[in-house]
Structure 1
């Protein structure tokens, strides 16, 4: 199985009218519950709108994002599924629930890190 990052950019939900936020929360939370029930959910969260801090290799901290960065992550989910097609299907559900496009990327596997993950319930 592989883990996938499904994310959307900060501002991707700016088109949602103030009166629609409860419906968006309900529909997106239904997808989260479905993913938990299916045993594919690892973690996810929205990110508060703010400038990120960038910590350099020497420990120096500067306000980010870097000037050439036009977009930052606004929210994400990490799921664990057998195929990219499954990840894309979950991203489609999240896109519909959140009412915004989702980016899908596979997370690189690292055996040592995998050993540190807490055991996951079987699907």
Structure 2
């Protein structure tokens, strides 16, 4: 089994349609999908994100990090939420991504999340992280 992150992205049209959709309707639609993934035993995590206008970007392009408040001109570069699923293959992750009840214009990026076992086990930082994961019940 491998973990994959399904990163949800929207464009201006998609975000506008989402804002016009009653909140209870969105909860019902997403809740049904989330429940399906829970029943299938593949859902590890899922979160939606607050309006981009409430966020900030920390830009490391210069010598000193620069913080810029939202909103942002290029909404296609923002993501609005994510799922983490644990599935047998990339193809299965893609199949779940295709079933997300997304608005027209949305996109979903599917990326594998490497496990801690894939890193050098004799590295002091990997050893510390493994110990933390064990203490917190993540391993």
TM-score norm. by structure 1 comes to: 0.71
- Is 1:5 matched up with 2:5? yes
Tell me the residue number matched to 2:120: none
Given the superposition, is the C-alpha separation of residues 69 and 20 from structure 1 closer, same or farther in structure 2, using an over 3 Å criterion?
closer
Given the superposition, is the C-alpha separation of residues 19 and 79 from structure 1 closer, same or farther in structure 2, using an over 3 Å criterion?
closer
- Is 1:47 matched up with 2:49? yes
- Residues paired across the two proteins, number: 117
Structure 1 stretches of 4+ with a deviation exceeding 4 A read 58-61, 64-70, 112-115
Pairwise mapping of residues 21-100 of structure 1 onto structure 2 (< 5 A)? 21-50=23-52, 51-54=55-58, 60=65, 62-63=67-68, 71-94=77-100, 97-99=101-103, 100=106
Structure 2 regions of 5+ residues with no counterpart? 118-125
Greater percentage in helix: 2
Note the aligned Cα RMSD (angstroms): 3.3
Which is higher, the Rg of structure 1 or of structure 2? 2
Q: What is the CA–CA distance in structure 1 between the aligned matches of 2:82 and 2:130, rounded to whole Å?
A: 20
Q: What is the CA–CA distance in structure 2 between the aligned matches of 1:71 and 1:55, rounded to whole Å?
A: 14
Deviation at 1:104, TM superposition (A): 0.9
